[in-house]
Amino acid sequence: MRTFLLLIAFLIVIGIGLVYSGAIRTRSDGNGVVVETTDVRVGTETRNVEVPVVKTETRQVEVPSIGVANSQANKQ
């Protein structure tokens, strides 16, 4: 029952948001309320935008290394 009431409340909030944003307009005439909607386009279009790019390149740098100088450590 709570889920059903939350769903109804959610739909009401969405409806209020659509009316506030202008996607849905309401007006009343002599017979009742008329709901008008605007055309909504959904799709993609091609545009030029700046996109950050990470490039890799080879450089010679000093890195930490570990070496063993004791030759006895390698013998068993």
Q: What is the 3-state secondary structure (H, E, C) of the chain?
A: CHHHHHHHHHHHHHHHHHHHHCCEEEEECCCCEEEEECCCCCCCCCCCCCCCCCCCCCCCCCCCCCCCCCHHHCCC
Domain boundaries, the chain: 1-39
Placement of tokens 């948001």 in the chain:
17
pLDDT for the residue numbered 4: 92
Q: Could you tell me the pTM of the whole model?
A: 0.41
pLDDT for the residue numbered 70: 63
pLDDT for the residue numbered 72: 61
Distance CA 15, CA 73 (A): 77
**pLDDT, tens only, 12-49:** 998 888 888 877 887 777 777 777 777 777 888 888 98
Q: Which DSSP letter does residue 23 get? A: S
pLDDT for the residue numbered 73: 54
pLDDT for the residue numbered 74: 53
